[in-house]
Amino acid sequence: MSKRILILSAVLPVLVASFVSSAPAAEKVKVLIIDGQNNHNWKKMTPPMKATLLATGRFTVDVSTLPSNKAPKEKWNEWKPEFAKYDVVVSNYNDGGKCRWPAERRKEFEKFISEGGGLVPVHAADNSSTDWPAYNDMIAVGGWGGRNAKSGSLLRKKDGKWVADPAPKGGSGSHGGGWEYPISNEAPDHPIMKGIPDGWKHAKEELYNSMRGPCKNVTVLAAAPCKRTKVEEPMVMLIKYGKGSICHITLGHVGSLDAIHCVGFQTLLARGTEFCGTGKVTIPIPAEFPTKDKVSMVPPEKVTWGKGTARLGEGASRSRKTAKVVEE
Ligand code: ZN
């Protein structure tokens, strides 16, 4: 047996093993970001969110830009995203409260989620579609867009447990100016939150509070203390809708503030999207995750996704390395 064959026979099982072990990782989670209408600068929001998802190596990302609120009916009839082609939809879309989606699209979307699809509404996406009952169920609570005391319950922590509080008085949706606030981990055993420290400092931004809704099948994952309501407000929620999962993230304002570059936000966006698309979380917590005292803002392409990212990409790099050994 020649030396070359010896090397090959030693390397071949490793080569096969590496392909076998990396096979599931090679299957990326298919994300569709929807945008096109928002009271925020959605054109400024979609690129960094897309960049965050791509930087993890775990996703493919398409963007569907919806017709604006002023678009004629024909434009809406032309909008036919194939939700079923995706694992999860990330929403950077806020119609201001009045849903313009054709009835057929709404039905398709409800079917997509109830049959196991995922949804990640970001920031003002929870201001959207007040008049679409299924959407309110999906997001658990929402604000603005004509919502009021009759729009449902508040989510409130009582005796250490999150409960729906019908609170007959008061509006739905409020925020003050931006500040750097602490966020608590309310569900450290949940796959999205596992390993995330309890209490990290979020980059300066608005703190959404007093939002109301059906509060059905909801788990609060993260919360923050509100200066206005003087209680903890839910910041991130996980909702079940049929077989589908929704990770509602109230964070992520863009404007003069840049919370969308907070590594805490980016981690929740990536892990929440992965969970809603697959039911699992493999994305690690980045090295730059903020601490209790220090905000951490890093552009998406510079975030270190650590060992897990290496693991997700290892099929390619290891096979390249192995191929080099065979050539020698
Ligand atoms: Zn905002």
**Cα torsion angle, 190, 211, 98, 251, sign:** negative
> Is residue 196 within 8 Å of 236, Cβ to Cβ?
no
pLDDT reported for residue 321: 30
Domain extents in the chain: 27-302
pLDDT reported for residue 311: 35
For residue 94, how far is its CA from the centre of ligand 1 (angstroms)? 11
pLDDT for 14 beyond 70 = no
For residue 205, how far is its CA from the centre of ligand 1 (angstroms)? 8
**Cα torsion angle, 57, 238, 154, 230, sign:** negative
For residue 41, how far is its CA from the centre of ligand 1 (angstroms)? 9
Q: Per-residue confidence at 258, pLDDT binned at 50, 70, 90?
A: confident
Q: What is the mean pLDDT of residues 121-132?
A: 98
For residue 47, how far is its CA from the centre of ligand 1 (angstroms)? 17
Looking up tokens 């392909």 gives 19
For residue 313, how far is its CA from the centre of ligand 1 (angstroms)? 35
**Least-confidence region, from 17-26, 72-81, 291-300:** 17-26
pLDDT for 255 beyond 90 = no
For residue 288, how far is its CA from the centre of ligand 1 (angstroms)? 24
Q: What is the mean pLDDT of residues 19-46?
A: 83
pLDDT digits (tens, 9 = 90+) for 193-230: 999 999 999 999 999 999 999 999 999 999 999 999 99
Indicate the SS3 state at residue 185: strand
For residue 46, how far is its CA from the centre of ligand 1 (angstroms)? 14
The domain 27-302 having CATH identifier 3.40.50.880: the answer here is: yes
**Least-confidence region, from 28-42, 111-125, 312-326:** 312-326
> Is residue 73 within 8 Å of 100, Cβ to Cβ?
no
Q: What is the mean pLDDT of residues 244-270?
A: 93
pLDDT for 326 beyond 60 = no
For residue 250, how far is its CA from the centre of ligand 1 (angstroms)? 9
pLDDT reported for residue 328: 22
CA-wise closest residue to 153 among 144, 163, 139: 163
For residue 6, how far is its CA from the centre of ligand 1 (angstroms)? 63
Q: What is the mean pLDDT of residues 253-279?
A: 93
pLDDT reported for residue 4: 52
Percent of the chain with pLDDT over 70: 85
pLDDT for 283 beyond 90 = yes
Looking up tokens 């059905």 gives 216
Q: Ligand 1 (ion): which residues have CB within 5 A?
A: 253
Q: Per-residue confidence at 257, pLDDT binned at 50, 70, 90?
A: low
pLDDT digits (tens, 9 = 90+) for 175-186: 999 999 999 999
